[in-house]
């Protein structure tokens, strides 16, 4: 894989942004993808394979469906910390394979939930 090409445009949330039309801004990597490969299908995401948010190297940018993108980021398949599973949930329960419920949500995206938190939430809902 070739090295990253870092955009010199201004950034917002670490993503390089550039003006596209009057008063409208677009992320620079999306503009580069569309120039090289054509428009992104409606609803699809653009993903940096290098995990560098302001990289505009066309070799590092791919189009993914939302579920592919979510799965890639949530399953720990990435090199950075972003995709790694957390060790504990927000309520302090340990997160591991036995203690985590995986399911496909209404939007068709792979999601995970802490089993103890799920039980607590379901009991509270049923007791109403």
Exposed / middle / buried, residue 114 (Cβ in 10 Å: 0-12, 13-18, 19+): buried
In this predicted structure, the answer to whether residue 32 has a pLDDT above a threshold of 60 is yes
Predicted pLDDT of residue 74:
60
Predicted pLDDT of residue 3:
87
pTM above 0.75, yes or no: no
Task: Give the mean pLDDT of the chain.
Answer: 79
CA neighbor of 28 nearest in space, from 11, 4, 49: 11
């Amino acid at each position: 894989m070739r090295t990253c090409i870092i955009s010199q445009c201004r950034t917002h949330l670490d993503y390089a942004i550039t003006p596209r039309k009057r008063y409208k801004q677009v992320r620079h990597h999306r503009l580069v993808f569309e120039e090289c490969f054509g428009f992104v299908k409606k609803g699809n995401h653009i993903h940096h394979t290098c995990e560098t948010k302001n990289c505009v190297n066309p070799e590092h940018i791919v189009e993914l469906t939302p579920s592919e993108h979510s799965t890639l980021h949530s399953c720990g398949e990435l090199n950075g910390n972003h995709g790694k599973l957390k060790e504990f949930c927000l309520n302090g329960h340990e997160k591991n394979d036995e203690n985590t419920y995986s399911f496909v949500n209404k939007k068709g995206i792979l999601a995970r939930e802490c089993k103890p938190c799920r039980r607590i939430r379901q009991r509270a809902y049923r007791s109403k």
